[in-house]
Amino acid sequence: MSVSARSSRGRLDAVVVGGGVVGIACALGMADAGLDVALVEAAQPPAWSSEHPDLRVYAFAPDNAALLDALKVWSDVTRQRVQPYRRMRVWDAAGGAALEFDADELARSQLGWIVEHGLLVDCLWRQLERRGVVVRCPARVTGLEQDASGVRITLDDGATLDARIAIAADGGQSALRELAGIATDDRDYDQLGLVAYLRSEQPHAGAAFQRFLPGGPLALLPCTNGRSSIVWSLPVDEARRLLEIDASAFNHELTRASDACLGALVLDSARAAFPLRRKLAQAQRAGRVLLMGDAAHVVHPLAGQGVNLGLRDVSAWLRSVRDAKAKGRDFDASSRLQRWARERRSDNTVSTLAFEAINRAYSNDQPITTLLRGHALELAGRMPMLRHALWRHAAGL
């Protein structure tokens, strides 16, 4: 059957389990390519409101902005609230030169955008029914059967959905990944990621900062209205202490940890923290089930690539679907599913382990490691071609 043909006997082309950024983007992209798609989500996402900024923010890469633009969602997001960032400075608290990225030098209008998770989900979610995706929410997947031609998904209300393929985009604790029998390689980093908004004495002027400290990196991301957002990776006990101390003591420690790169910093929201761990699926495919986003790879937030890697799974899959359609072939041919899974797992494994190695190298104060990493940053900083290549990789270009 060609990709443009509608499914027979009421069977769907694809069921996406998980309505986070990754799952919804994938469902919309497949629907736009002419597939019959259903999306199963455990809980209706709350409507985003400008008065209640989401503490979870992403440094969104240009290739993924282009994906949301192709899905006709990016203009809704930018109309409401995004902050472009034009400069980024990365440096080591132990000394040595900083690595700097500048949009002008790279001939770009911006390096990327800082976007709230809740705003992205809200804008994507509103498009689902308009674009013909069948939404089952609230519903959880509880069962999976599959054979050579399709899958049957059972939901917690007893209903079943038959489809040619299933996409597991149900996050780090993915139930569908487990039902498909895919194991994960896990590592607990013994760190928490502390997130909050703050105001700074000096304007951020669209600059992002990342300072490597012995306990883990501190990232300051520029936001609208002169605020910045932090993602501060810390050993668990230290993070708990910083969550509990009063605001003025926290402001003092945060300003010191930032090396006062924006002058004095003042907390401007609640503080929250989430556990940092690696979870890498041993395969991104089992038969007709494909794993995308956090269901396939939970990574350290130091490179700001969590959601970016997940959306690259989606882009690669949509390219494959469109290619099948253009050639009049089956979008779900086993060789096609396998090629996608192999390519994405290779990219995701390299990225996950690279972030982990950087975190390990910078989260210690052994003299040799300190010396080596200082030289590495300095060398990269002195080589414009290398800097350009590093940025292009992070930007997905």
Ligand X SMILES: Cc1cc2nc3c(=O)[nH]c(=O)nc-3n(C[C@H](O)[C@H](O)[C@H](O)COP(=O)(O)OP(=O)(O)OC[C@H]3O[C@@H](n4cnc5c(N)ncnc54)[C@H](O)[C@@H]3O)c2cc1C
Among 3, 21, 99, 198, binds ligand X (CB under 6 A): 21
Query: Which residue, 64 or 363, is less far from ligand X as judged by CB?
Result: 64
Report how far residue 356's alpha carbon sits from residue 195's, in angstroms, rounded to the nearest whole number. 20
Read off the tokens for 194: 């502390």
Name the one range near ligand X by CB under 6 A: 50-58, 198-206, 337-345, 377-385. Answer: 50-58
Angle 152-153-156 (CA atoms, 0-180°, nearest 5)? 145
DSSP per position, 94-139: T-SPPEEEETTTTT-S-SEEEEEHHHHHHHHHTTTTTTT-EEE-S-
Backbone torsions φ then ψ of 163, nearest 5 degrees: -150, 165
Task: Establish if 170 lies at the interface with ligand X (CB under 6 A).
Answer: yes
Name the one range near ligand X by CB under 6 A: 163-171, 252-260, 370-378, 382-390. Answer: 163-171
How far apart are CB 374 and ligand X at their closest, in Å?
26
Among 29, 215, 304, 396, binds ligand X (CB under 6 A): 304
Q: Which parts of 225-264 interact with ligand X (CB under 6 A)? A: 231
Write the interaction track for ligand X spanning residues 190-229; mark x where CB under 6 A is met and - where it is not.
-----x----------------------------------
Report how far residue 256's alpha carbon sits from residue 314's, in angstroms, rounded to the nearest whole number. 40
Among 16, 38, 88, 141, binds ligand X (CB under 6 A): 141
**Residues that contact ligand X, how many (by CB under 6 A):** 31
Report how far residue 217's alpha carbon sits from residue 239's, in angstroms, rounded to the nearest whole number. 12
Among 169, 180, 230, 281, binds ligand X (CB under 6 A): 169
Among 133, 307, 314, 318, binds ligand X (CB under 6 A): 307
Task: Establish if 301 lies at the interface with ligand X (CB under 6 A).
Answer: yes
How far apart are CB 171 and ligand X at their closest, in Å?
3
Cα 208 to Cα 23, 80, 116: the distances in Å are 28, 21, 15
Task: Establish if 23 lies at the interface with ligand X (CB under 6 A).
Answer: yes
How far apart are CB 318 and ligand X at their closest, in Å?
15
How far apart are CB 4 and ligand X at their closest, in Å?
27
Task: Establish if 58 lies at the interface with ligand X (CB under 6 A).
Answer: yes
Name the one range near ligand X by CB under 6 A: 56-64, 123-131, 200-208, 368-376. Answer: 56-64
Among 41, 54, 116, 268, binds ligand X (CB under 6 A): 41
Query: Which residue, 126 or 325, is less far from ligand X as judged by CB?
Result: 126
State the CB neighbour count (10 A cutoff) for residue 163. 24
- Reported as type and span, the H/E element at residue 155 is strand 151-155
Backbone torsions φ then ψ of 226, nearest 5 degrees: 75, 5
Query: Which residue, 117 or 278, is less far from ligand X as judged by CB?
Result: 117
Task: Establish if 289 lies at the interface with ligand X (CB under 6 A).
Answer: no
Cα 271 to Cα 160, 193, 194, 267, 279: the distances in Å are 41, 10, 7, 9, 25
Amino acid found at 161: L
Confirm if 300 and 187 have CB atoms less than 8 A apart: no
Report how far residue 160's alpha carbon sits from residue 175's, in angstroms, rounded to the nearest whole number. 16
Task: Establish if 171 lies at the interface with ligand X (CB under 6 A).
Answer: yes
Name the one range near ligand X by CB under 6 A: 27-35, 36-44, 65-73, 334-342. Answer: 36-44
Backbone torsions φ then ψ of 153, nearest 5 degrees: -105, 130
Angle 253-254-259 (CA atoms, 0-180°, nearest 5)? 100
Task: Establish if 19 lies at the interface with ligand X (CB under 6 A).
Answer: yes
Angle 383-388-389 (CA atoms, 0-180°, nearest 5)? 100
Binding site for ligand X (CB under 6 A): 17-23, 40-43, 56-58, 117, 140-141, 169-171, 175, 195, 231, 274, 293-294, 301, 304, 306-307, 310
